[in-house]
Structure 1
């Protein structure tokens, strides 16, 4: 296979180190590999059989991930970002990979979203399309805004075939730091920890204290504190390894301030061997540090990096401490005295054997990737619409007009997926009703709808939260809570949606997962709702009296299987059957047939089918009604008897 790995390290070199280890593993397994680095101009060792591409570099200072700098510390100009995109695109087109792996994105690197999105869009256009995988470390920093998480999930579902989690759930499962939902869970593959140097370590007698802090200058406080602590702990030799990201003047000052029993030197390539010989390690708690500690089984004191509200290293350190493998000194409490106390605690304890944690993540990544199914091809084959055409012709012969309407669920913001949906709405002359989640609405959705004459909003529950017990079908307004509580939430949802969406909102209740308790339905009219919309034929989905009800009937997504498109033959058959039911009187002939989509989770195959479906209905003169007309009394759509 041809494997393209794209990584941009902005602060330290850990991301590049891990990506390089994967590149080496793929190359050693006989694959052709190109590693593209967009961070600082650093080429890892051991890439003799890997093509290395350095983009115009960018970096950050501290934890300011929003402001990119060049190698001289100047703000990055748009011209440099454009050069990066061009070079990245040229590499993709020339290499034509079978596998594309993006490191961290879309779970991070949002500041570089434009270039990653461009890469993904171009990859989807290639024929054959490459498998697209996301490579992430064991612990992530979830955004504080729910819409950012939803945006990440939408990108994953739109563009990715698998998520490679380079960790072991025995240490920390992904759910501990990222809100994994049922849509992305099937894509997750745990690889174990990626060890950049998996060679066995020689066991020797341990002596002395080894201090390390990665490649960036973020460890300067740790270095200074360690030297001060060593002034009192003179019964053992110390070695302090300073990363290359520390300026020469700072390095010289540290070396000159050290007592005679402390060696201060630059980081060395034999670090792992030094660690295996040390009695105690003092370090931060980065990903590679955790791997080093697990591999060498050395006693450890961890001072996790927490500047800028970073939580990754603290969480990892706490997990290692819980396993009996480390003592912790919080960065805010770091002082010579606190470090000395932690050293004494660690040295006084009996050594703990590390658990059986997978440390062959690079090799397992290759094996997982080799075992993935080929990407599902775009919908190039011709679709046989004849069953639908025959049913429509039958309806015309019988004088039975068949109408359609279109509902799309889970709208919260103006996103690229929504833009594509509304573009299809305009080109197919098909109005769309967006079931919007009130609690998560962003102002951008209202702004966008103001400019869309054929798009309206419905009320999609309150927060799209599942309240069903484990093992039962999901529901937010199912028979699992009191009617009073759910009625209060439904009323609140209408008020909030109306306040944020104004005249573009229709007072129609769409329960998440299309499930609603029968006892709640009679209250909807009192709460201000004019109508209800679920899924399936009305007598099947909700056999009870209630408000005006107009359901949807056709969903193209295989939710319980591939999560891509159901076989088109099956969809066409179901659509033709829905038309015939209206002719025969088996269904309410006046209820329009509802098409249901979910724009945030469509892959390219689903988009292609939806575009063909809408275009075909337009060509056959089968109107897709405006949501205003669908829920108007003029249509004489009765409530269920």
Structure 2
């Protein structure tokens, strides 16, 4: 049976009201993966960000990125690019899950590859991206993650459940809700997404948390009408609630708001990660 829309968003409203009752704060933020080029879908993502005043952390695949992306981002100030791996290639052998930065890869090779990809990303974008690393498939071996600060990265973003190892790493801010069904490569049912959101928020609240960053994971290149419709309705319902604040990725990762130059046509690139510097 299909859940009526009024009941669907009423459940979300009720959970947000509970947050409001305890004086809680939910900083809602967006991360979008696999960007490589300008497209109608990228335009739709930018329009969504503008409509809701919500910056988006745009994870760009450096070695696949095209010049059209840098050109498009000049007119899309709320799409904030960062590094999404290098080639988005799987180096894991079955039955291990897909990963570009798994434990089998050597540190020197991986670090050099990341540094090369960072330089190319800056060239394509004509400006330095945010110093945030997003590994493909949300997986990176903790030993590799621990070296990211030495490569110039201040932030790391994976998916809920990922934790840094004992050696630490950059500031970690995971996304918590994936709007896509990757079996069918379609947008998930709205009722399922709202139920999952309420369950996750309730777990944080009942665990005693009062100030959280709640990240939603997007993939604009794969969105169908169901995915876009959910985003529009979800953001419209959530962002009007006093317990919800629009989250800027720069603030989530404790970066200066000026980290990404506003004018990518004339901005000087900021320092690159310090691997292989002259």
Q: CA deviation at 1:606?
A: 1.3
Q: CA deviation at 1:589?
A: 4.9
Matched, 1:624 2:246: yes
CA distance in 1, matches of 2:51, 2:202: 28
Counterpart contact for 2:24–2:211, Cα < 8 Å:
no
CA distance in 2, matches of 1:387, 1:585: 20
Match among 209, 224, 232 for residue 611 of structure 1: 232
CA distance in 2, matches of 1:494, 1:613: 34
CA distance in 2, matches of 1:488, 1:504: 18
* Partner residue, 2:145: 521
Query: Considering only CA atoms, is the larger Rg found in Structure 1 or Structure 2?
Result: 1
Q: CA deviation at 1:582?
A: 3.0
CA distance in 1, matches of 2:95, 2:149: 32
CA distance in 1, matches of 2:68, 2:78: 17
Paired residue secondary structure (1:632):
coil
Structure-2 change in CA distance of 1:444 and 1:583 (3 Å): same
Structure-2 change in CA distance of 1:602 and 1:445 (3 Å): same
Q: Which aligned pairs between 1:342-353 and structure 2 lie closer than 5 A?
A: none
Matched, 1:395 2:16: no
Residue deviations 1:106-129 (CA, integer Å, cap 9, x gap) = xxxxxxxxxxxxxxxxxxxxxxxx
Residue deviations 1:299-343 (CA, integer Å, cap 9, x gap) = xxxxxxxxxxxxxxxxxxxxxxxxxxxxxxxxxxxxxxxxxxxxx
CA distance in 2, matches of 1:633, 1:409: 20
* Partner residue, 1:531: 155
* Partner residue, 1:575: 197
* Partner residue, 2:269: none
Matched, 1:585 2:178: no
CA distance in 1, matches of 2:128, 2:196: 31
Counterpart contact for 1:535–1:552, Cα < 8 Å:
yes
Counterpart contact for 2:54–2:246, Cα < 8 Å:
yes
Q: CA deviation at 1:392?
A: 1.2
Structure-2 change in CA distance of 1:521 and 1:444 (3 Å): same
* Partner residue, 1:493: 117
Residue segments in structure 2 that go unaligned for 5+ positions in a row: 257-278
* Partner residue, 1:559: 182
CA distance in 2, matches of 1:428, 1:388: 18
CA distance in 2, matches of 1:381, 1:394: 22
Q: Which aligned pairs between 1:590-601 and structure 2 lie closer than 5 A?
A: 590-601=211-222
Residue deviations 1:370-423 (CA, integer Å, cap 9, x gap) = xxxxxxxxx996261122212211111111111111000000111111111111
* Partner residue, 1:547: 170
Matched, 1:507 2:131: yes
Counterpart contact for 2:37–2:68, Cα < 8 Å:
yes
Matched, 1:441 2:65: yes
Q: CA deviation at 1:493?
A: 2.1
Counterpart contact for 1:491–1:528, Cα < 8 Å:
no
Paired residue secondary structure (1:408):
strand
Counterpart contact for 2:155–2:253, Cα < 8 Å:
yes
Match among 71, 84, 87 for residue 460 of structure 1: 84
CA distance in 1, matches of 2:127, 2:253: 15
Q: CA deviation at 1:499?
A: 2.9
CA distance in 2, matches of 1:613, 1:602: 15
Counterpart contact for 2:23–2:210, Cα < 8 Å:
no
TM-score by length of 1: 0.37
Structure-2 change in CA distance of 1:618 and 1:483 (3 Å): same
Q: CA deviation at 1:581?
A: 3.0
Match among 468, 482, 492 for residue 106 of structure 2: 482
Structure-2 change in CA distance of 1:408 and 1:467 (3 Å): same
Residue deviations 1:169-197 (CA, integer Å, cap 9, x gap) = xxxxxxxxxxxxxxxxxxxxxxxxxxxxx
Structure-2 change in CA distance of 1:407 and 1:558 (3 Å): same
Counterpart contact for 2:25–2:245, Cα < 8 Å:
no
Which gives a bigger RCO, structure 1 or 2 (Cα 8 Å, sep 6+)?
Answer: 2
CA distance in 2, matches of 1:456, 1:478: 26
Paired residue secondary structure (2:232):
helix
TM-score by length of 2: 0.83
Aligned length: 251
Q: Which aligned pairs between 1:352-363 and structure 2 lie closer than 5 A?
A: none
Structure-2 change in CA distance of 1:380 and 1:574 (3 Å): closer
CA distance in 2, matches of 1:517, 1:589: 30
Residue deviations 1:403-451 (CA, integer Å, cap 9, x gap) = 1110000001111111111111111222111100000111111112122
Counterpart contact for 2:146–2:164, Cα < 8 Å:
no
* Partner residue, 2:35: 411
Paired residue secondary structure (1:474):
coil
Say which is worse superposed, 564-573 or 509-518, in terms of deviation.
564-573
